[in-house]
Amino acid sequence: MEIIVFLSVVIAVGAVLTSIVLVRRVKKQIAEMTDVLVDVKNGNGNRRILSATNELTAPLAYEINEIVVAYESRLSTVRQTEETNRQLMTSLSHDVRTPLTTLIGYLDAAHKGLVTGKDR
C-alpha cells in the first residue's frame, strides 16, 4: 500500500513539474510572438515567427506569418500604385503645361501686336 501511495505522489509531482515546464515554454513562445508582432506593427514586415511544427503555438504562428506576408504584399502593391500615380501626374502635368505655355505665348504675342494678318 505504501508503494502505491509513493508512486501516486511521484506521478503527481512529475505531472505538476511537466505542466510547469510546458506552461513556461508556451509563455516564452507567446512573448516571442508578441515581440515579432510589435516589430511588424512598427513597420518591419520582414520579421517572422519561428516555430517548430510540433509546438503548441505552431498553427497560430504559421497563420500570423501568412497574414504578415499578405499584408506586406498588399502594402507593396499600394506603394507601386502610388509611384505609378505620381509618375502619371508628372507626365500629365507636363503634357498639359507645354501646350498651355505655347497658347499663352501666342496670345501674348497677339496682344503685343507681334502677330499680324490672318494668323491674328
* pLDDT score at 117: 65
Mean pLDDT of the chain: 87
In a domain, 120, yes or no: no
In a domain, 83, yes or no: yes
In a domain, 119, yes or no: no
In a domain, 90, yes or no: yes
* pLDDT score at 119: 57
Domain that holds residue 78: 2-113
In a domain, 40, yes or no: yes
Supply φ then ψ for residue 102, to 5 degrees: -65, -45
In a domain, 21, yes or no: yes
Q: Cα separations (Å) of 16 from 12, 19, 29, 34, 95?
A: 6, 5, 20, 27, 76
Rounded mean pLDDT, 63-76: 92
Question: Which cell is 18 given?
Answer: 511537466
Number of domains in the chain: 1
Cα separation, 33 vs 115, in Å, equals 75
In a domain, 97, yes or no: yes
* pLDDT score at 108: 80
Which residue matches cell numbers 511521484?
10
Inform me whether the pLDDT recorded for 4 exceeds 70: yes
Inform me whether the pLDDT recorded for 34 exceeds 90: yes
Cβ 33 vs Cβ 68: under 8 Å:
no
More confident residue, 115 or 10: 10
H or E element in which residue 44 lies: none
Cα separation, 57 vs 25, in Å, equals 10
Instruction: Tell me the residue type at 115.
Output: V
Rounded mean pLDDT, 77-102: 84
In a domain, 66, yes or no: yes
